[in-house]
């Protein structure tokens, strides 16, 4: 763990194949998550091609963890990025067991609540799973160069 409170890891395959970071559950962590993702993708072959879509995805997922996760004060969130062939898997871990729900708005005036619709549109697939140990969840998305699944 470095002085910024982030942990970085690498698997036995290429050193840039994955990265893991702890962040405070704070609105400023959204920008930090984007910056960390940019740094990660710069070290991945063709990672720059994934940057725009994956930045939006990580922003939405971290925002959801910060705004909607009902957890005790002081709990942190974790983000994990993994290069998978020509895709990037973006994960956001939080201590809340409440699963995300897509809210489909029929009113153009609604300016919030569309984050998961955006994640769905930009990702090949996405989902939610219980964290190992049964406390909290991981919301993940797989972003590829060809855009969303639609």
Interval 117-142: pLDDT, tens: 999 999 999 999 999 988 899 999 99
CB 42 within 8 A of CB 34: no
Lowest mean pLDDT among 8-12, 54-58, 105-109, 146-150: 8-12
Least Cα distance to 131 among 85, 87, 76, 83 occurs for 76
Give the separation between CA 121 and CA 134, rounded to whole angstroms. Answer: 29
Lowest mean pLDDT among 9-13, 72-76, 121-125: 9-13
CB 55 within 8 A of CB 79: no
- How far, in whole angstroms, is CA 126 from its chain's centroid? 10
Domain ranges of the chain: 18-143
pLDDT at residue 7 in the model: 43
pLDDT band at 146 (very low <50, low <70, confident <90, very high): confident
- Which fold would CATH assign to domain 18-143? Heat Shock Protein 90 (3.30.565)
What is the secondary structure of 72-140 as a DSSP string?
A: -TT-EEEEEEEEETTEEEEEEEES--PPP-------TT--SS-HHHHHHHH-SEEEEEEPTTSSSEEEE
Q: What average pLDDT does range 28-57 have in this prediction?
A: 96
Which residues does residue 77 pair with via DSSP β-bridges, in sequence order?
23
Count of positions (residues) in the chain: 150
pLDDT at residue 109 in the model: 54
């Amino acid at each position: 763990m470095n002085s910024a409170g982030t942990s970085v890891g690498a698997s036995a395959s290429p050193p840039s194949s994955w990265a893991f970071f702890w962040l405070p559950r704070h609105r400023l962590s959204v920008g930090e998550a984007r910056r960390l993702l940019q740094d990660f993708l710069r070290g991945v072959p063709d990672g720059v091609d994934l940057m725009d879509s994956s930045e939006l995805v990580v922003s939405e997922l971290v925002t959801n963890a910060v705004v909607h996760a009902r957890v005790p004060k002081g709990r942190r969130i974790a983000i994990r990025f993994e290069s998978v062939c020509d895709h990037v898997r973006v994960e956001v871990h939080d201590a809340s067991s409440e699963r995300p729900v897509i809210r489909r708005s029929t009113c153009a005036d609604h300016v919030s609540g569309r984050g998961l619709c955006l994640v769905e549109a930009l990702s090949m697939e996405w989902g939610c799973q219980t964290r190992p140990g049964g406390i909290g969840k991981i919301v993940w998305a797989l972003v590829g160069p060809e855009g969303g699944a639609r």
